[in-house]
Structure 1
């Protein structure tokens, strides 16, 4: 199966021309909103985390910020407890 078919089966829709960087996956409001127990569970489905629209990864030192997290205000709100650094991205991971 190709990449686009896999995304459709996962319930994800990517919009071309969105303001989000091209490496981010933007989820539609129709996506199922799930509250995950912890980051391990969330990262199984969203490997780089989930952030709200306009969020930027807060990093220290020379680390590069994560930019390829999934974007969904509703999904982030459901998992806000997992955003330990309060930067608008839950469970960010490179």
Structure 2
């Protein structure tokens, strides 16, 4: 068995970095054609790994040219504005509130805690929050 001196062995962090670069190179190779490494011996050393520029450019252009896949992720859907609480409660049975909002109650009534937490949706329907506690149309 060949022993390698500790000073010339790559550290665990460098080995992990090399794995990440190999994974990125593999992804680019799948989408854009051949990606090349400096040499098979260089796999253990992350600093000596390189990807050919045309492969990286081709991968980037092929991703950006297919806008239909990324269109939904690029622009979030606008929050729906409901006419009244009846319409809102058909879709969100326990109401809609801001993240971190707490139901304001009186007496022994238990607060509603299972409402949908969504800041944008609440902002579109703030007119339906009669008690101004941060939860619109709360209902048990």
Measured in 2, the distance between the counterparts of 1:32 and 1:61 equals 37
Deviating beyond 3 angstroms after TM superposition, the runs of 4 or more aligned structure 1 residues are none
- Give the TM-score normalised by the residue count of structure 2: 0.45
- Give the TM-score normalised by the residue count of structure 1: 0.67
Name the structure 1 match of 2:118.
Answer: 72
Give unpaired runs (5+ residues) of structure 2. Answer: 1-75
Is 1:50 matched with 2:96?
A: yes
Deviation string, structure 1 residues 13-55 (Cα, Å, up to 9, x no partner) = xxxxxxxxxxxxxxxxx45510000000000000000000110
- When residues 32 and 88 of structure 1 are mapped into structure 2, their CA distance, relative to the original with a 3 A threshold, is same
Is 1:34 matched with 2:80?
A: yes
Which one has a larger percent strand, Structure 1 or Structure 2?
1
Which one has a larger percent helix, Structure 1 or Structure 2?
2
Larger radius of gyration: 2
Count of paired positions? 66
Structure with larger RCO (C-alpha < 8 A, sep 6+): 1
Name the structure 2 match of 1:87.
Answer: 133
Measured in 2, the distance between the counterparts of 1:32 and 1:71 equals 16
Structure 2 counterpart SS, 1:74: helix
| Root mean square deviation, CA, Å | 1.5
